[in-house]
Amino acid sequence: MSTPHPLRIGNFSGFYGDRASALREMLTGGELDVLTGDYLAELTMLILARDRLKDPCAGYARTFPRQLEDCLGLAHERGVKVVTNAGGLDPAGLAAAIRELADRLGIPVTVAHVEGGDLTAAHPGTLAAHAYLGGFGIAACLQAGADIVVTGRVTDAALVTGPAAAHFGWRPEEYDRLAGAVVAGHVLECGTQATGGNYAFFREGDVRRPGFPLAEIHADGSSVITKHPGTGGFVDVGTVTAQLLYETGGARYAGPDVTARLDTVRLSPDGADRVRIEGVRGEAPPPDLKVGLNRLGGFRNEVVFVLTGLDIEAKAALVREQLGDALAKSRPDDVRWELVRTDRGDADTEETASALLRLVVRDADERVVGRALGGAAVELALASYPGFHVLSPPEKASPYGVFEDVYVPHGAVDHVAVLSDGRHVSVASPQETRPLDDVPEPPLPEPLPPGPTRRAPLGLVVGARSGDKGGNANVGVWARSDEAWRWLAHELTVERFRLLVPESRDLPVTRHPLPNLRAVNFVVEGILGAGVAARHRFDPQAKALGEWLRSRHLDIPEMLL
C-alpha cells in the first residue's frame, strides 16, 4: 500500500478578528489540502458567552460565515477542506448556518461538527465551561467525507492533528507521529506569528503584510513550515522557534491526544522560507482533560490623568490624596494606582512632556465602582494640579471576567463527531495515559571562557516571545548561535530573571531549558492575576513582557556583540 502524499495544511486565522481576506489569499496563493481557522482564546470564550446572554444564537464567531460566503465556491472548486473552531459555544448552530449558506449559494458541500466539551451545566456560576478536546473527532468527520468541519473548544493544535490523523490513518497510540503534528499545529495556530509577525528580529524581513503559514506534514509526523510563494513576511528557524516557545511551559507539552516532548524538537533550514521540523517524540496523554472556566469577576472602571511638565511626582501625589476620601467612603475591593513615566525633560511636544497616572478600581458591586470614580474624579477638573486633564472621563462600570483551569477525567466528557447525515460517532477516550512528571534538567553547554564584557541590552543577542495562560505568563528566550547559547544558558537564571523583571520577585518563577532550541522558557505564576479578562496589568496578556526583558541591560561578552 503506497504512502499517502504529504498533507499541505494552512492557516487563515489566528484569532477572532484576524485578517478577513486571509481565507481567499490562502485559497488562491497555492496548492493546499486543508485550511484551518483558529478563532478561540480564553478571552474569546468569555466574549461569546456574554454575547449569548443577549442572544441565544450568538455563541459562535460571526465573522467566519461572512468569510466563507465569499470563498465557499472557491474552496469546493479546489477541493480544499476547511476545519475551524469558530463554532465556539455553539458548533451545531454554526454548522447549520453553513448548510443554509451552501444551499443558498447552490454549492454542494457536506458539513459536520464536533461537540461534547460543554460542561457549563456542571459548573454553576460560570458563563462558560468547556473541555479542551483533541483531534480525533475532527478526523472522524473528515474520514466520513466532510468538506467543512466545525468545532467548539478543541486544543489549537487539534485543528492540525485531526486532519493529519485522517489523512494518514494514524491510530491513537502512534504518539510520535501525533506529537509531530501537534508541534506543527502549534506553529500554525497563531497565523502570521510564524511568518515574521510579532517577531523580535522583525527588521530582517518585510513584515508589512506577512503571508499566512502552511505546513507540509509527512506520514512519520515530520513537517516543513513554509508559506505561499510571493506572500509577505518570512519563515526561518528564528520565526519558528519564537512560535514554538509561545504560551508553552516545560519540555512536556500536554494535550488530550498526546504529550509532545518539546525537548526533542529539531529545526533546520530547508530552503528559502522553509524550516524542517523532525525528531519529535510523543508520550501518552495525561489522565485528565483541561477545562476552561469563564465567570463574571465583578465590575471595574478606570481613569487616566495626564500630568505634564514639571513636578510629576508631586502632581501624582496630589491627585491620590484628593481622591483618598472618595475611595475610603466607597471602599472598593481593589484600588490600583500606576504612574507611567512617558515624559522627558525639555520635550519638544506636549505629549512627550507628559506622564500618565492610571487609577483602576474593581468591586463585585457595580454601584461601589460607580461611587468610587463617578463624580469624584471629574470634580477635580478646576481644583487639582496645574494642567489637569484626563484621557477620557470615567464611564459606567463595566463587567470583567475571570478565567481558571480545572481538570476532569477523559471519561467525564462525551466527545462526539456529528456527521452531515445526523449520525453521531463517539470518540473513545485514550486507552493509555501518563502523568505529567517533571523532566530532569538536561545537560547544559560549557560556559563561555571569561573575557571582556560591555553593558548592553539583552535583546542584541537573544530573541524572546511571551504570552499568557490564565493568570500565568511565559517568556521564551532563545539564542541564535551556539556561542550565545553557551552564555544564555548560564547567565539568564531565575535569579537574574527576577532582577530584570521586578514584578516577578515575589512570584513563583520556573525555568525550563530546551537545548535543542537553544532556549530557556520561564513561567511566572500569578503575574496576570485572574487572566486577561480581569485586565490586572498594564499588558494584560503579557504580549510585550519578552520585549521588555530584551530591553534590559546587563554585562554581555563583547565577542557576542
What is the arithmetic mean of pLDDT over 335-352?
93
Report the half-sphere exposure of 467 (CA within 13 A, side-chain side): 17
Task: Give the chain's mean pLDDT.
Answer: 94
What is the arithmetic mean of pLDDT over 162-187?
98
* Cβ contact 359:335 at 8 Å: yes
Residue 416 has pLDDT above 70, yes or no: yes
Residue 30 has pLDDT above 80, yes or no: yes
Lowest mean pLDDT among 194-208, 356-370, 543-557: 356-370
pLDDT at 399: 85
What is the arithmetic mean of pLDDT over 525-539?
77
* Cα(529)–Cα(365) distance, integer angstroms: 19
C-alpha cell at 481: 548561535
Q: Is the dihedral of CA 80, 85, 233, 240 positive or negative?
A: negative
Residue 535 has pLDDT above 80, yes or no: no
* Cβ contact 547:459 at 8 Å: yes
* Cα(414)–Cα(430) distance, integer angstroms: 13
**In the structure, what pLDDT confidence band is assigned to residue 279 with cuts at 50, 70 and 90?**
very high
Task: Encode 371-401: b = buried (16+ Cβ within 10 Å), e = exposed.
Answer: bbbbebbeebeeebbeebebeeebeebeebb
**In the structure, what pLDDT confidence band is assigned to residue 534 with cuts at 50, 70 and 90?**
low
β-pairing, 111-115 vs 148-150, is parallel
**In the structure, what pLDDT confidence band is assigned to residue 2 with cuts at 50, 70 and 90?**
low
Residue 1 has pLDDT above 60, yes or no: no
C-alpha cell at 208: 508589512
pLDDT at 4: 85
Residue 467 has pLDDT above 60, yes or no: yes
Residue 313 has pLDDT above 70, yes or no: yes
pLDDT at 525: 94
Give 93-116 pLDDT, tens digit per residue: 999 999 999 999 999 999 999 999
Estimate the crossing angle of helix 63-78 against helix 22-29, to 10 degrees: 10
pLDDT at 236: 98
List the beta bridge partners of residue 252: 261
Strands of the 462-469 sheet, one edge to the other: 462-469, 472-479, 519-524, 509-514
pLDDT at 402: 86
pLDDT at 532: 66
Q: Which three-class secondary structure state does DSSP give residue 444?
A: coil
What is the arithmetic mean of pLDDT over 155-172?
98
pLDDT at 130: 96
Q: Which of 196, 212, 226 is nearest to 13 (CA)?
A: 212
What is the arithmetic mean of pLDDT over 346-358?
94
490 burial type by CB count under 10 A (0-12 exposed, 13-18 middle, 19+ buried): middle
Residue 451 has pLDDT above 70, yes or no: yes
For 106, residues 6+ apart whose C-beta sits below 8 A from its C-beta are none
pLDDT at 211: 98
Residue 242 has pLDDT above 90, yes or no: yes
pLDDT top residue among 327 and 77: 77
pLDDT at 533: 66
In the 8-state DSSP scheme, what is residue 232? B
Does this model's pTM top 0.85? My answer is yes
For 525, residues 6+ apart whose C-beta sits below 8 A from its C-beta are 471, 472, 507, 508, 509, 510
pLDDT at 199: 97
pLDDT at 540: 84
Domains identified in the chain and CATH numbers: 7-286 (no CATH), 298-402 (3.30.70.360), 453-560 (no CATH)
* Cα(497)–Cα(46) distance, integer angstroms: 32
List the beta bridge partners of residue 454: 556
Share of the chain above pLDDT 90, in %: 83
